[in-house]
């Protein structure tokens, strides 16, 4: 496995400022993913409420 390093080794070699930027970006992306999941769930529940399966909307 020549030329390969573990992720933790690579991260530890990064300057502290770069580590902080990476951490902040990771947290922002995670928060965005949670919002997307909530929006998708709300859309699904809205669709289920709009059509109760009998073809009529509330």
With beta carbons less than 8 A apart as the criterion, state whether 41 and 49 touch.
no
With beta carbons less than 8 A apart as the criterion, state whether 19 and 11 touch.
yes
Return the ∠ at Cα 3 (arms to 7 and 6), rounded to 5°: 15
Gap between the Cα atoms of 34 and 50, Å rounded = 24
pLDDT tens, the chain, 58 aa long: 568 999 899 989 999 999 999 999 999 999 999 988 998 888 877 777 776 555 555 5
Q: What is the pTM of this model?
A: 0.56
Question: Could you tell me how far CA 32 lies from the centroid of its own chain?
Answer: 6
């Amino acid at each position: 496995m020549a030329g390969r390093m573990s992720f933790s080794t690579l991260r530890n070699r990064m300057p502290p400022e770069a580590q902080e930027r990476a951490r902040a970006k990771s947290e922002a992306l995670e928060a965005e993913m949670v919002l997307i999941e909530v929006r998708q769930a709300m859309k699904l529940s809205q669709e289920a409420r709009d059509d109760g399966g009998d073809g009529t909307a509330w």
